[in-house]
Amino acid sequence: MTASAESAPHVAGGVVVEYNNLDIALVASGWSVIELLRGDVYNDRGDFVGYVHDALVLPDGDTTFVIVNVAGFLNIGEKLIALPAGAFEINADGDLVLPNASKDNLKSLPRFYYARN
């Protein structure tokens, strides 16, 4: 590999991506999406209110939604809802927290359906 090839910016999806100033330690301190998926969701009182089913990024690339399953006991009555990622907090244990949420108020939200292509 030539010196110019090593220093050339990388391309992802046709967009030039430069990462010379990337703070790897900061990136490594983030939360793994793989670990958060299928994780439990709690309210700020520590009550279980659902679990993460999926996460979706809209075509604008900036807006992310978390799809939460608010199923009943033993997953009977599965219901998926979509909530903006910004509504969640992550506690010291790495769990997703929805402040002021209850299972009942989450179940009252509109059901989420995946688009069919």
Taking the model in full, what pTM does it have?
A: 0.71
d(CA 66, CA 49): 14
Q: What is the mean pLDDT of residues 5-9?
A: 52
Dihedral angle sign, alpha carbons of residues 97, 103, 107, 113: positive
**Which residues lie across from 40 on neighbouring strands?**
51
d(CA 29, CA 27): 5
Domains belonging to the chain, first-starting first, are: 32-107 (2.30.30.240)
Looking at residue 26, its pLDDT comes to: 77
d(CA 110, CA 102): 15
Tens of pLDDT along 16-37? 666 667 777 877 777 777 777 7
Q: Which amino acid is at 36?
A: L
Tens of pLDDT along 71-112? 776 667 789 999 999 999 988 888 899 999 999 999 999 999
Q: What is the mean pLDDT of residues 36-58?
A: 90
Owner of token pair 């990462």: 19
Report the SS3 class of residue 31: coil
